[in-house]
C-alpha cells in the first residue's frame, strides 16, 4: 500500500513544536512559508509526532518517490516540462512525520548522499537510493528536515571521483561566496490577479512594448552604505515608482538566478531555479514582481540556456562525467566566456532547461523571457577558428540540436503560457527567428534588431558635417525591418567595456551632445518595432556603467539631464497613446518613406500608420545643427497638421523652435498630392498629426 503524504505549512508546524528531539545532535531549522495550507488539526498531529523523542535511526533516509512511470518516460524523452515539481527538495509529511524528499539526476554515480547541518555534513549517514528503472535518479525522504536547512549532494562517481554539489533544482541558495543549497519553497499568496487576467492585452504584438532594462544590484544602493545591496522588497517602492513615472510598459531584469561571480552580471548561473540570495528570498522577488503588476507593468527575465560556469559546486561534471555539457570541448566549451555549453542533444538536459523556463513563468508570474546569446547556440563555429569546431551531420555549421531545442522551448512556453513573450538576442541573419515553428521558424515572439542598433550608433557617433556621406546607415534598416518581429535595443552591452555611455558617444559640445541624444531617442521610438533602453540612459548617465556602483542619480539636479528624463517620458506617452506607433509595428503597411534621399541636408521624413488613416503620423528628423526653414514634404492626407512632439522643446533643454498648426496645400511633393512646409529645428525630431 502506498504511503500517505501531505504537504504541510511548515510555519504553522513550527508554532506547535515546543522542543527538539533530544537524541539528535542538530535538529533541522524550520522556517518561512510552507508549501500548502492545511487544517489546524493536521498541523497539531504532525507537530505532536515531531515533539516525541525518537531514536537516531528514525532520522535516516526512508524510501519515497514523487515520480510515476509516466514521469520517467517523459523525462527520458525530453518532454517533461515541470520537473521542478519532482526534482530537488520538497518538504512534506510521510506517515505523519514532517521531513524533506530529495531527488537528483546522477546516472553515472555509484553513491549519492545528502549532507548538511542536520547530520554534521556526514557523507555516509544519509545515502539516497537509486531508482530501479535505469533513469539515473537518486531519491529518498529524510524525516525532521525542513525549510531553511542547508544541504549539498555528496556524489561518488564510478571513476572514484568525489564531489559536493549544489542541488540543480534548489529553490534557494546560500549567499555567495557560500555555495550550499537551502530547502525552501515557492509558496506565495499572489495579489496580481487583475494583471494576469488582462496581460494578454499588454503583451500582444499590436500593443506598445517599451522595456526598461535593469541590473538590479547597481540600479541603486543604500544611501548610507554605497557598497550594500538593497533587497527586492526595499527597492520595490522606488524602482516601481520610477518605471511607472517614466511610462515604460515593461521592465527587463538581467539574470536574477543564483550566480557565484557578481561581475558576470548574472550570466554565469549555477542555480537555475533559485533567485539569487544577494537580494532576498524567492518570496521577496515575487513581492517585487507583484508590485510591478499592480501598476500595470510587465516583468521580463533574462534567461541563459546557452552556457554555464565550471564552478565545482555547479552543473559541470555533475556526476563525474559530462552530464549537462558536451565532453568534446569543440562542442562543449565556450571560448568567449570560458564556460560550458549545454548538450542540447541529451533529452534529459532539454527537459531540465525547458522546465526551468516554465518554472520562471509559472512560479514567478514572469511575463516574458529574453533568451541570451541565441547566436552562440545556433552555430557550431561561433567564435571558433577553423579546426576548432565539429560540423553537423550534413557538414554544415548550424547546430541542429540547439535549433530543435529552441523550437521545443518556444512551443512549450506558448502552449502553457500563450499570453507571454519570448525574445531572442540573436545577432546574425539566421532566418525565421520570430516566425512560427509550423512555418519552419524558431518560434520566438520577438528578436533583437542588432543591425539597427549597430548602424544607428555608428551614424550618431559621426560629426554632423560628415553624416551626409553615411545617410544609408539610417535608411537601410527598413529594407529588412519587417522580416522579423524586431525589438530595438540600446542595452547594457552598449555602455560597458570601454564603449562609454550613450551621451558620450554623441559628437559636439554639451548642447549638441544632448540634442543628438534626444534625436537618437526620438528616432528609436518612432521607428517600427518595440523598444528597450538600459537603465541610466533615461537621464543621460555620463559615466560608463559599472556593476559595482549605483547609477548617478545626482545628475538629475541638472537641467540637461532633467530634459532627457522628460523627453523619454514624453516619448513613452506618445508611443502608448498614438495607435500608429504600435498597431502595425511588424508589417510594412505601418511605415512609409516620404523623404529618404535628402542626404545633402541629412533630413528624413516618414509616416507611421495605424489601422485608421486618421491616426497617421509624420516624423521629420534633422540630423545637423543647421535649422531647415520652410522645408516642404508630402503628407499622407489633406488636413491641418499639428506638431504633437518636438525634441527641441525648451522643457527638454532644446532651443525652442516650434511650428504652429499648418494646413496642407494641394501642391504635389514626394509622390503625394498634398504637402506642407515646416521649420525643422537643429538636431531634432518633430512629429506631426492631422487634426
Give the CATH number for residue 134. Answer: 2.60.40.10
555 in a domain, yes or no? Answer: no
566 in a domain, yes or no? Answer: no
Residues 341 and 416 in one domain: yes
Task: Out of 427, 448, 469, pick the residue that ends a domain.
Answer: 448
What pLDDT, on the 0 to 100 scale, is given for residue 47?
A: 39
What pLDDT, on the 0 to 100 scale, is given for residue 223?
A: 76
Reported confidence tier of residue 14, pLDDT bands at 50, 70, 90: very low
What pLDDT, on the 0 to 100 scale, is given for residue 46?
A: 37
Residues 179 and 277 in one domain: no
Residue 9 has pLDDT above 50, yes or no: no
What pLDDT, on the 0 to 100 scale, is given for residue 222?
A: 81
Residues 134 and 250 in one domain: no
DSSP letters of 91-158? EEEETTEEEEEEEEE-TTEEEEEEEEGGGTT-TTTSB-EE-TTSS-EEEEEEET--TT-EEEEEEEET
Residue 51 has pLDDT above 80, yes or no: no
Reported confidence tier of residue 45, pLDDT bands at 50, 70, 90: very low
624 in a domain, yes or no? Answer: no
Residue 221 has pLDDT above 50, yes or no: yes
Residues 415 and 325 in one domain: yes
Mean pLDDT throughout 333-360?
96
Residues 284 and 242 in one domain: yes
Reported confidence tier of residue 58, pLDDT bands at 50, 70, 90: low
Structural domain range at position 98? 69-183
**Spatial distance between the Cα atoms of 199 and 235, rounded to a whole number of angstroms:** 24
Q: With contact defined as beta carbons under 8 Å apart, do 34 and 8 qualify?
A: yes
Residue 38 has pLDDT above 50, yes or no: no
Residues 338 and 422 in one domain: yes
Mean pLDDT throughout 521-525?
98
What pLDDT, on the 0 to 100 scale, is given for residue 25?
A: 33
What pLDDT, on the 0 to 100 scale, is given for residue 589?
A: 97
What pLDDT, on the 0 to 100 scale, is given for residue 59?
A: 64
Average pLDDT, the chain: 92
The model's pLDDT over 579-617, given as tens digits with 9 standing for 90+, comes to 999 999 999 999 999 999 999 999 999 999 999 999 999
**Spatial distance between the Cα atoms of 141 and 92, rounded to a whole number of angstroms:** 9
Residues 127 and 225 in one domain: no
Cell 555611455, residue? 501
Residues 175 and 248 in one domain: no
User: CA 595, 597, 599 angle in degrees (round to 5)?
Assistant: 115
Task: Out of 448, 468, 488, pick the residue that ends a domain.
Answer: 448
- Buried/exposed code over 451-460 (b: 16+ C-beta within 10 A; e: otherwise): bbbebbbebb
What pLDDT, on the 0 to 100 scale, is given for residue 488?
A: 98
530 in a domain, yes or no? Answer: no
The model's pLDDT over 227-244, given as tens digits with 9 standing for 90+, comes to 889 999 999 999 999 999
Residues 113 and 232 in one domain: no
Active site residues: 372, 425
Reported confidence tier of residue 39, pLDDT bands at 50, 70, 90: very low
Residue 18 has pLDDT above 50, yes or no: no
Residues 370 and 425 in one domain: yes
Reported confidence tier of residue 8, pLDDT bands at 50, 70, 90: very low
533 in a domain, yes or no? Answer: no
Mean pLDDT throughout 74-90?
98
Q: Residue 606: which H helix or E strand, with range?
A: strand 603-608
402 in a domain, yes or no? Answer: yes
Q: Residue 244: which H helix or E strand, with range?
A: helix 232-246
385 in a domain, yes or no? Answer: yes
The model's pLDDT over 271-308, given as tens digits with 9 standing for 90+, comes to 999 999 999 999 999 999 999 999 999 999 999 999 99
Q: How many domains does the chain have?
A: 2
Mean pLDDT throughout 169-185?
97
The model's pLDDT over 435-481, given as tens digits with 9 standing for 90+, comes to 999 999 999 999 999 999 999 999 999 999 999 999 999 999 999 99
For the whole model, what pTM was predicted?
0.91
Strands across the sheet containing 684-690: 591-598, 603-608, 617-622, 684-690, 640-646, 662-663
Residues 335 and 437 in one domain: yes
Grid cell digits, residue 560: 540637461
Task: Out of 183, 218, 235, pick the residue that ends a domain.
Answer: 183
Q: Residue 428 gets which letter from DSSP?
A: S
The model's pLDDT over 628-653, given as tens digits with 9 standing for 90+, comes to 999 999 999 999 999 999 999 999 99
Q: What is the CATH number of the domain that holds 236?
A: 3.20.20.80
Residues 272 and 384 in one domain: yes
What pLDDT, on the 0 to 100 scale, is given for residue 7?
A: 47
Mean pLDDT throughout 70-86?
98
Grid cell digits, residue 291: 508590485
**Spatial distance between the Cα atoms of 621 and 598, rounded to a whole number of angstroms:** 11
316 in a domain, yes or no? Answer: yes
Amino acid at each position: 500500500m502506498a504511503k500517505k503524504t501531505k504537504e504541510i505549512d511548515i510555519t504553522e508546524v513550527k508554532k506547535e513544536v515546543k522542543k527538539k528531539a533530544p537524541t539528535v545532535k542538530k535538529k533541522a531549522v524550520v522556517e518561512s512559508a510552507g508549501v500548502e495550507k492545511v487544517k489546524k488539526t493536521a498541523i497539531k498531529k504532525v507537530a505532536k509526532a515531531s515533539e516525541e523523542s525518537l531514536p537516531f535511526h528514525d532520522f535516516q533516509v526512508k524510501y519515497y518517490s514523487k515520480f510515476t512511470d509516466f514521469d520517467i518516460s517523459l523525462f527520458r524523452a525530453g518532454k517533461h516540462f515541470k520537473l521542478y515539481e519532482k526534482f530537488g527538495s520538497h518538504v512534506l509529511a510521510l506517515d505523519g512525520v514532517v521531513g524533506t524528499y530529495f531527488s537528483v539526476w546522477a546516472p553515472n554515480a555509484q553513491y549519492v548522499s545528502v549532507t548538511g547541518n542536520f547530520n554534521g555534513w556526514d557523507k555516509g549517514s544519509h545515502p539516497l537510493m537509486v531508482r530501479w528503472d535505469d533513469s539515473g535518479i537518486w531519491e529518498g525522504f529524510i524525516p525532521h528536515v525542513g525549510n531553511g536547512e542547508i544541504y549539498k549532494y555528496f556524489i561518488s562517481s564510478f571513476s572514484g571521483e568525489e564531489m559536493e554539489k549544489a542541488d540543480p533544482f534548489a529553490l534557494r541558495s546560500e549567499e555567495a561566496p557560500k555555495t550550499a543549497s537551502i530547502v525552501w519553497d515557492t509558496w506565495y499568496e499572489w495579489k496580481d490577479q487583475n494583471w494576469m487576467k488582462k496581460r494578454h492585452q499588454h503583451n500582444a504584438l499590436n500593443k506598445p512594448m517599451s522595456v526598461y532594462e535593469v541590473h538590479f544590484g547597481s540600479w541603486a544602493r543604500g544611501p548610507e552604505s554605497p557598497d550594500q545591496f538593497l533587497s527586492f522588497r526595499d527597492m520595490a517602492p522606488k524602482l516601481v515608482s520610477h518605471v511607472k513615472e517614466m511610462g515604460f510598459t515593461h521592465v527587463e531584469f538581467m539574470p536574477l538566478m543564483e550566480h557565484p561571480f557578481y561581475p558576470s552580471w548574472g550570466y554565469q548561473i549555477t542555480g537555475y531555479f533559485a533567485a539569487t540570495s544577494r537580494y532576498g528570498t524567492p518570496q521577496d522577488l515575487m513581492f517585487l514582481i507583484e508590485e510591478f503588476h499592480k501598476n500595470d507593468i510587465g516583468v521580463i527575465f533574462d534567461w541563459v540556456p546557452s552556457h554555464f560556469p565550471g564552478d565545482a559546486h555547479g552543473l559541470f561534471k555533475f556526476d563525474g562525467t559530462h552530464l549537462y555539457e558536451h565532453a568534446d570541448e569543440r562542442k562543449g566549451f565556450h571560448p568567449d566566456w570560458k564556460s560550458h555549453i549545454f548538450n542540447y542533444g541529451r533529452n534529459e538536459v532539454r527537459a531540465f532547461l525547458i522546465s526551468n523556463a516554465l518554472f520562471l513563468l509559472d512560479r514567478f508570474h514572469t511575463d516574458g523571457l529574453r533568451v541570451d546569446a541565441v547566436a552562440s547556440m545556433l552555430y557550431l563555429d561561433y567564435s571558433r577558428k577553423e579546426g576548432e569546431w565539429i560540423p553537423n551531420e550534413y557538414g554544415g555549421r548550424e547546430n541542429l540540436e540547439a535549433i530543435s531545442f529552441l523550437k521545443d522551448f518556444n512551443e512549450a512556453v506558448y502552449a502553457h503560457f500563450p499570453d507571454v513573450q519570448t525574445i531572442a538576442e540573436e545577432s546574425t541573419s539566421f532566418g525565421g527567428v520570430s516566425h512560427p515553428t509550423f512555418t519552419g521558424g524558431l518560434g520566438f515572439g520577438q528578436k533583437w534588431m542588432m543591425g539597427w542598433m549597430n548602424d544607428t550608433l555608428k551614424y550618431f557617433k559621426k560629426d554632423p558635417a560628415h553624416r551626409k556621406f553615411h545617410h544609408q546607415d539610417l535608411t537601410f534598416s527598413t529594407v529588412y525591418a519587417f522580416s522579423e518581429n524586431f525589438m530595438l535595443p540600446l542595452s547594457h552591452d552598449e555602455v560597458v567595456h570601454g564603449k562609454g555611455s550613450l551621451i558620450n558617444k554623441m559628437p559636439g559640445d554639451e548642447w549638441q551632445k544632448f540634442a543628438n541624444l534626444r534625436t537618437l531617442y526620438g528616432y528609436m521610438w518612432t521607428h517600427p518595432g518595440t523598444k528597450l533602453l538600459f537603465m541610466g540612459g533615461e537621464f543621460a548617465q555620463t559615466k560608463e556603467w559599472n556593476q559595482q556602483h549605483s547609477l548617478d542619480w545626482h545628475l538629475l539636479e541638472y537641467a540637461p539631464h532633467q530634459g532627457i528624463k522628460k523627453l523619454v517620458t514624453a516619448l513613452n506617452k506618445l508611443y502608448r497613446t498614438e495607435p500608429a506607433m504600435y498597431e502595425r509595428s511588424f508589417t510594412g503597411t505601418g511605415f512609409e518613406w516620404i523623404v529618404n534621399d535628402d542626404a545633402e541636408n541629412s533630413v528624413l521624413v516618414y509616416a507611421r500608420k495605424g489601422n485608421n488613416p486618421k491616426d497617421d503620423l509624420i516624423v521629420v528628423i534633422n540630423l545637423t545643427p543647421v535649422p531647415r526653414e520652410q522645408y516642404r514634404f508630402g503628407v499622407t492626407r489633406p488636413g491641418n497638421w499639428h506638431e504633437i512632439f518636438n525634441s527641441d522643446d525648451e522643457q527638454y533643454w532644446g532651443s525652442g523652435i516650434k511650428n504652429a498648426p499648418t494646413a496642407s496645400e494641394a501642391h504635389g511633393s514626394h509622390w503625394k498630392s498634398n504637402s506642407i512646409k515646416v521649420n525643422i529645428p537643429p538636431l531634432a525630431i518633430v512629429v506631426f498629426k492631422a487634426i
